[in-house]
Amino acid sequence: MSEDAGMERLIRSDLVNFGGYSASTSPETLEGKVEVPVEGIIKLDANENPYGCSPRVSQALATYPYLNIYPDAGQTRLRGLLQEYTGIGAGYIVAGSGSDQLIDLVLRLFLEPGDEVINCIPTFAMFQFSTELCGGKLVEVSRDENFAVDVTAVKAAITNKTKIIIVANPNNPTGTIMPQPDILEIVNTGLPVVVDEAYYEFSRATVAPLLTQYKNLMVLRTFSKWAGLAGLRIGYGFFPPEIANHLLKIKPPYNVNAAALVAVQESLKDIDYLMDRVKAIIAERDRLFGELTRLKFLKPFPSQTNFILCSVLDGKASKLQQKLQDRGILVRYFDKPLLRDSIRISVGKPEHTDALIKALREIGG
- Contact characters 170-209, ligand PLP, x per CB under 6 A: --x-----------------------x-x-----------
**Contact (CB, 8 A) for 334 and 122:** yes
Smaller CB separation from ligand PLP, 196 or 284: 196
Among 230, 232, 292, 310, which residue interacts with ligand PLP (rule: CB under 6 A)?
Answer: 230
Closer residue to ligand PLP (CB): 49 or 99? 99
Query: Hey, how many other C-beta atoms are within 10 angstroms of the C-beta on 23?
Result: 9
- Among the listed ranges 76-84, 93-101, 269-277, 322-330, the one in contact with ligand PLP (CB under 6 A) is 93-101
Please report whether residue 100 would count as binding ligand PLP according to CB under 6 A. Answer: yes
98 binds ligand PLP (CB under 6 A): yes
Residue 99 interacting with ligand PLP (CB under 6 A): yes
> Binding to ligand PLP by residue 49, rule CB under 6 A?
no
Pairing of strands 298-300, 307-312: antiparallel
* Burial status of residue 39 (CB atoms within 10 A of its CB: 0-12, 13-18, 19 or more): exposed
Question: Nearest residue to ligand PLP, using CB?
Answer: 98
Q: Measured from the CB atom, is 136 or 173 closer to ligand PLP?
A: 173
255 scored as a contact of ligand PLP (CB under 6 A): no
Q: Which chain residues interact with ligand PLP by CB under 6 A?
A: 47, 98-100, 124, 168, 172, 196, 198, 222, 224, 230, 235
